[in-house]
Amino acid sequence: MLINIATILVVAGLLLLVVGIMIARQYTLRAKLLTSFLFIVLLSLGLLAALDSYLMSENLEETTYKILDVAARQYADRIDQFNEFNLESIQSEARLPALVDFIKYRGAKPYHSQTIREILTALQSRQAKDIVSFAVLNKDGINMVDTVNASIGSDESEEIYFKEVLLKKSPYQSPVIFSRYEEPALFFSSPIEDITGKFLGVLRVKYNASVLNKLLSDSRGRVGRGAFAMLMDESYLRLIHGRRNDLQNTLAIKISAADLNVLEQNGRVPHNSKRLFAEQPELINKLENTRFNNTNLQIQLFGMGEDLYSLSIARLTTAPWKVIFAQPKEVLIEPVEEQTRATLLFASAIAFLVVFIVAGTTRILLKPIRQLTNVVKQIGEGNLKIKANVDTNDEIGGLADAFNEMTTNVRVLVNDLEKEIDDHKLTADSLRKLSQAIEQSPVSVMITDLDGNIEYVNPEFGRVTGYTSEEVIGKNPRILKSGHTPPSQFTNMWNSITTGQSWSGELYNKKKNGDLFWENVTVSPIKSSDGKNTHYLAIKEDISIRKEYEERLMYQASYDKLTDLPNRSLAFDRLRQALANAIRDRERLAVMYVDFDHFKNINDTLGHNAGDSFLISMAERLKGIVRDVDTVARLGGDEFMLILTSTHHKSGEIPLSEYRDQIQQKAAEILHKVAQPCVIEDMEFSVTASIGIAIFPEDGDDPHILLKNADTAMYRGKRKGRNTFEEFTPEMSDKIVKRVEIESKLRRAVEEEKFYITYQSLVNTRTMRLAGAEALIRWEDDELGHIAPEIFIPFAEESGVIVDIGRWVLDSVCRDVKGLRADQDSKDFYIAVNLSGRQFRGKGFARQVSDTLSKYKLHGSSLELEITERLLMKDVPEVITTLDQLKEMGIRLSIDDFGTGYSSLSYLKRFPFDVLKIDKMFVHDIGVDPDNAALCEAIISMAHSLGLSVVGEGVENEEQFEFLRLRGAEIVQGYYVSKPMRYDEFKQFVTVSDWIASTVG
């Protein structure tokens, strides 16, 4: 309706506009204003009415659907709650011991049928009006007890409520079932099982389906006039129709007679029902395709006339049913129709009010305008006494003509004068800005005549060159010439500017004080109006700092910052060049790969500053050994490369053996020079080196291959004991391949836990009893076989996987010691575990140990952690903090391999150790080397004076055992006591051995 009114108002406005255009040439401005305002008002009212109608309709429709959604969902929830209550109740009641025992003992006293019937009657009383009967069925579906006597003994095994429970062993709710002789019914059933879960029978309750009517009985008109609810089952049968009873229990979709017979036989529709009803296909399609609740649509409903209904559909969660809540569409638009009448009255009042206001206002406004028009016209003509004659009936037209005529006469004069003044100002301002820009420019500006004589320089020129303008005016720019710029560059410049083109380039000039500097110069000709060159303009920028920075970057990219030696990039470039020369001249060439032994100890002991000073000193020594034509380069860290070229020995002139002798002599000289004492930070020490040698062309003709082979030879020297040189042989490549294979397999071994632990006994020399054991990690690979720890542990340290290995070892040891203590009931037995530096310094290591002990409910005394001296050399405060945390847990701390590290004895006093372990290299020669015997005796005495226990490692015979025992070593370890054993073997060893006797109990 509102849309119709809006249309009327818009059409009326358009008609007024047409009429106004037709009378515009004959009537006054007042008539035009009145027509225009009335058109605008009617058009605006029409558009506002249309917008109001649209917004109100949309809001009402949205609000209606929300209300319908809520109502549909509430009634769906009400039925869901009814279903859920009965399912939970029937399941709970089916578990009553009396029912279970009744079926189990086949009705024997005291579980006879009368007792069970009384129980069922009591259960039925909760909703006696709606529940038709309660019954107990045995496992074959025979009705054993029923609150309706006539049903006792009937076979209900083919009923869906029995078959579904028998199949799924869970509570079940049936669809509404129609019987030929009874009222429609709704069944709930649940299995009866004994305590073992054995199926005994079924408890079922039968409801009159009219209970569903009660759940929706108050839906009619609840959310508005004409609103009602429908309940539809999975077969599209209207179980409930809240508006017309004659539509209840009828199908909502047309089906074939055969399909109808099937539904009747299954009790899904009333028997002998010949009334078939069909909803609109749109509704049925929505019901079939919708997978979500609260679907909204507008549609006609079959049997409800031609009225259009707004629907909301809500699905039940407990049954495949839908609640459809409907409201007539006509109820929705009633508020819109009421608004229509109000809008019509409002629009009429506004139109009349606009006509009244515009008529009065234009009458008042146009009178002074007519008077002003006459005055302005007289002023324009210059005759103030003559009255104006108005030739037009349009007041605004007359006023415009008068102003146009007056302003035309005045503006011609004013514009001409202003233009002339502006031109003068613009020229003067441009010249001033140009002069200021050149004078204040951050670059040098120079102007010369065609012969190159300087006529002008700006202040920046003087600041850069040191010359004043008086010193250079009339001179040639050659006064800046340094002699370093090629003459051809000046020739190119003059050729360009004399032909009218600009030239740009870099010049290396000289200042007044003789300093050299770089300039980026652009020279352009200044041309007259006829295109001829009159002067030359040079713009110059000092780029000395940039050039210096570029040279520094080039140097930094090619040279090592610390030693000023060529870096890896430049070294490879020189090696490529040297190889090219050697190939061309058919000469031999040698590459040496130098690595300093135990350089890491310098950094760990003295700090990185001392390490840097050492590398600088070694770089100077290496440069002093070789010739100027040779190359010494730093590849990184403590690794250096030497390229020995220009030996003047062609590959065919002397035997290879003689050439190798020369290279070996040079390598021996390098080892000798490197081993000379070095003083850094007032501390004197000596360091050795390992050198690998590769020779062209025998060991390769590619830079990468030569360096790799030299590196391989160097590592071979390190493995042979360091402080030596090795020449590359083809056999070394095979070992490198094996090393790479070990490294790759190591990572997989960590991920797949391919390691295992062996335990070697620790024996108390005083009691001759087993005190504990040391955990030793082993690795057995499927392809490589047994890999010794001294081979894979360094790889693990370098790659960082040692942290994961250490965590696994700690967890495994705590698990095993838990088992050993449980079997032996010993609180003194402990396991010693070696720690790596990376593991110990890892974040939260102490917390990790604490968590592992807690995991296996062990006290700290179950563990002894072995720490090497090297680990104590760095970050001493942090080390002490971690050690104190471990001591607080009751863990023993042992200093491992004592005497092989680089620490002073003061560390034993600073750190909270309990045990000192003598390395097996000292124990091994006790019987044959008096020095080793004396050293062991001194270590034991010193440890006891510091309150430390002593463990002797590597004891292999009775002589070594007795030596340590007699000198007070508390614990011994080695093959003399026992070999390392896996957990199961060690556990058996502990059980049967006399070593453990004293610790039991």
**Could you tell me the CATH number of the domain that includes residue 540?**
3.30.450.20
In whole angstroms, give the CA distance from residue 266 to residue 237: 14
In whole angstroms, give the CA distance from residue 315 to residue 291: 9
In whole angstroms, give the CA distance from residue 271 to residue 262: 11
DSSP 861: G
* Range with the largest mean pLDDT of 21-35, 409-423, 474-488: 474-488
Instruction: List Cβ neighbours of 185 (8 Å cut-off, separation of 6 or more).
Output: 132, 176, 177, 179, 206, 207, 208, 209
Residues 71, 147, single domain; the answer is: yes
3-state secondary structure of 659: helix
In whole angstroms, give the CA distance from residue 785 to residue 885: 40
**What does the block give as tokens for 266?**
């299954």
| Range in 86-95, 407-416, 465-474 with the lowest mean pLDDT | 407-416
**Confidence category of residue 1001, pLDDT binned at 50, 70, 90:** very low
| Range in 22-36, 305-319, 702-716, 741-755 with the lowest mean pLDDT | 22-36
pLDDT at 226 (0 to 100): 74
Residues 770, 724, single domain; the answer is: no
Is the pLDDT higher at 370 or at 845? 845
**Confidence category of residue 111, pLDDT binned at 50, 70, 90:** low
Is the pLDDT higher at 567 or at 378? 567
pLDDT at 384 (0 to 100): 46
- Whether 403 is in a domain gets the answer no
Looking at every residue in the chain, the average pLDDT score rounds to 81
**Confidence category of residue 247, pLDDT binned at 50, 70, 90:** low
The domain boundary residue, chosen from 300, 330, 360:
330
Beta strands 454-457; 915-918: pairing state: unpaired
| Range in 9-23, 660-674, 913-927 with the lowest mean pLDDT | 9-23
Find the mean pLDDT for residues 366-386.
58
The domain boundary residue, chosen from 712, 728, 744:
728
pLDDT at 45 (0 to 100): 64
- Whether 1001 is in a domain gets the answer no
Is the pLDDT higher at 412 or at 434? 434
- Whether 416 is in a domain gets the answer no
Find the mean pLDDT for residues 808-813.
94
Q: What CATH number corresponds to the domain at position 724?
A: 3.30.70.270
DSSP 142: B
**Confidence category of residue 985, pLDDT binned at 50, 70, 90:** very high
Residues 109, 236, single domain; the answer is: yes
Q: Is there a contact between 329 and 308 (Cβ–Cβ < 8 Å)?
A: yes
For residue 823, the Cα-to-chain-centroid distance in whole angstroms is 49
Per-residue pLDDT tens digits for 5-50:
555 555 555 555 555 555 545 556 656 666 676 667 666 666 666 6
Question: Can you list the alpha helix ranges (DSSP code H) found in 95-216?
Answer: 97-104, 113-124, 160-168, 211-215
**Confidence category of residue 380, pLDDT binned at 50, 70, 90:** low
Residues 944, 816, single domain; the answer is: yes
**Confidence category of residue 874, pLDDT binned at 50, 70, 90:** low
Using H for helix, E for strand and C for coil, what is the string for 8-54? HHHHHHHHHHHHHHHHCCCCCHHHHHHHHHHHHHHHHHHHHHHHHHH
Q: Is the pLDDT of residue 328 over 50?
A: yes
pLDDT at 997 (0 to 100): 38
In whole angstroms, give the CA distance from residue 540 to residue 448: 14
- Whether 733 is in a domain gets the answer no
Q: Is the pLDDT of residue 910 over 60?
A: yes
CB atoms within 10 A of CB 432: 10
pLDDT at 67 (0 to 100): 82
Residues 630, 669, single domain; the answer is: yes
How many domains does the chain divide into?
A: 4
Q: Give the CA dihedral 24, 30, 36, 39, nearest 10 degrees.
A: -110
Is the pLDDT higher at 823 or at 231? 231
DSSP assignment of 470-512: HHHTTS-GGGGB-S-S-HHHHHHHHHHHHTT--EEEEEEEE-T
CA triple 98-103-106, angle to 5 deg: 115
For residue 367, the Cα-to-chain-centroid distance in whole angstroms is 78
Residues 207, 292, single domain; the answer is: yes
Q: What CATH number corresponds to the domain at position 908?
A: 3.20.20.450
- Whether 575 is in a domain gets the answer no
- Whether 47 is in a domain gets the answer no
Per-residue pLDDT tens digits for 734-781:
666 667 677 778 888 877 878 999 999 999 999 888 999 999 999 988
Residues 713, 772, single domain; the answer is: no
Per-residue pLDDT tens digits for 820-852:
876 655 567 899 999 988 888 888 899 999 999
CB atoms within 10 A of CB 455: 13
pLDDT at 593 (0 to 100): 95
- Whether 56 is in a domain gets the answer no
Percent of the chain with pLDDT over 70: 75
Per-residue pLDDT tens digits for 565-612:
999 999 999 999 999 999 888 888 999 999 998 888 788 777 888 889
Is the pLDDT higher at 533 or at 42? 533
Residues 196, 279, single domain; the answer is: yes
| Residues of the domain holding 612 | 589-645+655-728
Q: Is the pLDDT of residue 946 over 50?
A: yes
Find the mean pLDDT for residues 785-790.
85
pLDDT at 274 (0 to 100): 56
The domain boundary residue, chosen from 279, 298, 330:
330
Residues 539, 623, single domain; the answer is: no
pLDDT at 995 (0 to 100): 47
- Whether 622 is in a domain gets the answer yes
Q: Is there a contact between 591 and 643 (Cβ–Cβ < 8 Å)?
A: yes
